[in-house]
Structure 1
Amino acid sequence: MDRTDVSWQGYWPAAPTPFTPDGALDEAALTELMELYAGHRVDGVLVNGSTGEWFSQTPAERRRVAEVAVAAAAGRFPVVVGVSAYTAAEAGELARHAAGIGADGVLSTVPPYVHPAPAEVLEFYRAVSSATDLPFMVYNWPRGVAVDLDDHPDLLQRLADLPQVVAVKDSTGDWPAMADTVERLTHQVRVFGSFLSRRGLAILLGLGGDGNIDGGGVGAPFAVPYYRAVADGDAAAATHWVDRYRALSGRLIRPDYSGVFATPIPQLKAVMSILGQPGGTVRPPLLPVTDPGLLARLTAVVDDSGIRDAARMAAPAAGPAGAPR
């Protein structure tokens, strides 16, 4: 397989997993969230990634999240399932479940906490990516696993050469290194990176690159038309939409993917609540944002960005399963 075997591109939310205040998985809210994404005409969705709080779920819960999301998406957009785990055996079991329920692909980081060496990284991905016939996305997430694959260009090339690997989600905080990865690999695999900026636009229109997988998707009303404009080669329209996106996201998330007002996932779910979106609450060890002062500051960011009105205008009722976007 290579990049031509999938049509993955554009703007994808990394979906949060909605939990109730008592910590239970909220399946109804997760279904509603998939409908929200369909209404925004996103290009794909990642579930059980970092934003999905996979680390605080049981294996049975992770399987159920994948089942609910795939059923709710109903073929309207690709669903890639995160299978990150401490061992290749655990990740492989989750990947086989994803294949069995009709997911469109799977994704994994290297094992957290372990700090594997390049040879160990390669063997881990060889085992997990070959567990199924699904297209596979390598996830570079140094903030979460303390290993930056961009530090090892030869290793990234060897990962791209694995038979099932079709994409890389490059969430390094080292922006020039991400651009180098685009230049080296975009002819072979899809590269999702940090392209929602004017310099990101220059990379997309020049070197290449395929899309963003963005925590939560609250910026979809700005990011979806941005990527439509990029696809059309309309730099002026793309610049308009990316400036609007940055006016929201740039006040919430730092370049290293940390949150401005709180840790990223509680901050995201607080913003979703302000917008009336079905993000639910977080599960320990994370704590919800409850401080009135912080909530007031988040509300000010939301109000200043114009995202409320944009969301109302950008999200017509979702069409029937399989309807074109």
Structure 2
Amino acid sequence: MTTTLISGGSMDRDDVTWHGYWPAAPTPFTSEGELDEDAWRALLRLYAAQGVHGVLVNGSTGEWFSQSAAERRRVAEIAVSELSGRVPVIVGVTAYTAAEAIGFARHAAEAGADGVLATPPPYVHPGPEDILAFYRQVSSATELPFMVYNWPRGVAVDISAHPGLMSGLADLDNVVAIKDSTGDWLRMLGTVEEVGDRVRVFGSFLHRRGLAVLLELGGDGNIDGGGMGAPFAVPYYEAVAAGDREAARGWVDRYAGLSSRLINPDYSGVYGAPIAQLKAAMAMLAQPGGHVRPPLLPITDPERLDAIGAVLKESGLVEALSGDNADTVSGRAGR
């Protein structure tokens, strides 16, 4: 699946088909801290085999903050080469300045990405006018469809807390989607109500409340850190699209049984930093997540690793994986 680019004029939600369950992909690093290109290709192929509806690379889970500019470009190029024409590939271009973000966006366009995404500049604490000006610059730098990313946990500002700001961003010519990862669920609902008719909204819908919203109010999908829940979340979104409420309830309950035991409502990890926790779990599942890179440290405490392994088993995720893959799960996940 590819995205049709619009030359001139304004885009909206109907100019893309973005929907459903997307992993925000981790970037695999070796134990020595090098970019592991073989593992990265293997992970992308795993996502394609799982039937995910799109992939985000170089987002927060992708540890963009510890990569060099050359590594970020290489990660994007490999993702496009592996997935182009199969599922949409959106490249994260978050940076401290508009000029940096624009450079990454232009590279993504040259590489053949289907779209780009950015948070407001981290650390800066920009106000509403600053945020609107930043997105106006970055989103207009290429003809790629653009996704605004509201990530208060990572950038210390909540776009949804400023009345009218989401609407102003939705009106920008190339903005076709908003990923609203505010920790305030009611604010996320406000985003769906305010702009869901103009742009696609990816938010928190993988629970019973989220199902009710998708069926009655709107919303388009989840972009989930790591995508471990794909065996439950992919069929959930397909059941939602088919209007099969009973099947959707069954799948979303299974997903919630996994996610709620690993991730807190504020998006922090239960047993450690979310990315370190994710990569530890992926290692137990023999998935090519690789190692974290400093400043993050791996989870090594045996009790916490045992707890993560118990969640993987008790949630039914190990059983849901293919027989061959399930047989390779480490001993901790089998306890």
Residue 101 of structure 1 pairs with residue 120 of structure 2: no
1: distance between equivalents of 2:16 and 2:193?
19
- Render the CA deviation track for 1:27-66: whole Å, top value 9, x for unaligned: 1101000110011000000000000000000111000000
Determine whether 1:24 maps to 2:34.
Answer: yes
State how far apart, in whole Å, the 2-side matches of 1:257 and 1:292 are. 23
1:173 aligns with 2:183: yes
Q: Which consecutive segments of 4 or more residues in structure 1 shift more than 4 A?
A: none
Amino acid at match of 1:49: G
Count of matched residue pairs? 315
One-letter amino acid of the counterpart of residue 245, structure 2: A
Give the SS at the match of 1:214. strand
Q: Which of these residues, 239, 244, 261, is aligned with residue 254 of structure 2?
A: 244
Residue 138 (1) aligns with residue 178 (2): no
- Offset of residue 309 of structure 1: 2.3
Q: Which residue of 2 aligns with 1:268?
A: 278
Q: How far off is 1:292 after superposition?
A: 1.2
Distance 1:189 1:310 in 2: 34
Say if 2:316 is the partner of 1:310.
no
Query: Could you tell me the TM-score, scaled by structure 2's length?
Result: 0.93
Residue 46 of structure 1 pairs with residue 56 of structure 2: yes
Match of 1:151 in 2: 161
Q: Which whole-Å deviations, capped at 9, do the CAs of 1:220-274 have from their partners, x for residues lacking one?
A: 0000000000001111110000000011001000111000000100000001001
In the alignment, the residues of structure 2 paired with residue 56 and residue 204 of structure 1 have an alpha-carbon distance, to the nearest angstrom, of 35
Work out which of the residue numbers 215, 229, 238 in structure 1 matches 2:239.
229
Amino acid at match of 1:33: L
Query: What CA RMSD, in Å, does the superposition of the two structures yield over aligned residues?
Result: 1.1
For the residues of structure 1 that align with 2:153 and 2:29, how far apart are their CA atoms? Answer: 24
Residue 74 of structure 1 and its aligned partner are, at CA, apart by: 3.0
Aligned to 2:5: none
TM-score, reference length from structure 1? 0.96
- In structure 2, what is the equivalent of residue 295 of structure 1? 305
Deviation of 1:194 after TM superposition, in Å, equals 0.4
Partner Cα separation in structure 2 for residue 16 and residue 152 of structure 1: 30
Question: Which sections of structure 2, spanning at least 5 residues, go unmatched?
Answer: 1-10, 326-335
Distance 1:179 1:232 in 2: 22
Q: Which amino acid aligns with 2:193?
A: E
Q: Are 2:68 and 1:58 equivalent residues in the alignment?
A: yes
Gaps of 5+ in 1: 316-325
* Residue of structure 2 in register with 1:2 after alignment: 12
Distance 2:318 2:82 in 1: 24
1:120 corresponds to which residue? Answer: 130
> d(CA) in 2 for partners of 1:209 and 1:153?
20
1:46-102 Cα shifts (integer Å, max 9, x gaps) = 000000000000111000000011111132100000000000000000000000010
Q: Please state whether the residue corresponding to 2:322 is helix, strand or coil.
A: helix
Q: Shift in Å at residue 169 of structure 1?
A: 0.2
Contact 2:93 2:117 in 1 (8 A): yes
Which AA in structure 2 matches 1:132?
T
